[in-house]
Amino acid sequence: MPTCLPLVLRDCHACASKRFRANGKFRVNANHKLIDAWLLVLCTACGETAKLTVLERVNVRSVRPELLDRLHDNDPGLAAELLQDPVVRRRNRVALDWDDAWRLDTGGSDHLDREVLDVSVRFAAPIPVRPVRLIAEGCGLSRAEVERLVAEGKLVSAVRLSGRLSGDFTFTLKR
């Protein structure tokens, strides 16, 4: 599950940094019947503000009133939703860095001594993470040991465990 908003990866115009932190603040500007809205992000090195376009030259009447209220209230939940929206990321040419922005909740460690573990992994948010890393942290193993178990056929799943996943999956671990 997420613990904070991820870092936004893009070039800073003031310094050489490529990391920005979203703090949930928005800027909304209306010009007659048209509205623009941006999510403000701050450079982690110099503090320079950059804007990620959310709405651009949109007729005010076509925007849901709930969305306008959330923009005006600087809703951090809306910031999280917009950062995960692929359309917003593509429009602004940014990527997300989820390192240290999530945690693993295993429900305790009493299950680790069993011979066969049938585990169901549920994501509270679509956070791209390597399944090998999740399994290693959740079962108290090293990543190399998890990869060895996969190679030996003692760790099996219906999904490919190499690469990144951001959706729910299950796996079986035989010791």
16 has pLDDT over 70: yes
pLDDT category, 112, cuts 50, 70, 90? low
What is the C-alpha to C-alpha distance for residues 53 and 173, in angstroms, rounded to an integer? 45
Other C-beta atoms lying within 10 Å of the C-beta of residue 43 = 21
Task: For Cα atoms 82, 40, 127, give the angle at the middle one, nearest 5 degrees.
Answer: 35
pTM over 0.85: no
HSE-CB of 109 using CA atoms within 13 angstroms: 5
Give the per-residue pLDDT at 45.
Answer: 95
What are the tokens at 29?
């500007």
Give the per-residue pLDDT at 75.
Answer: 94
According to DSSP, the residues that pair with 117 across neighbouring strands are 173
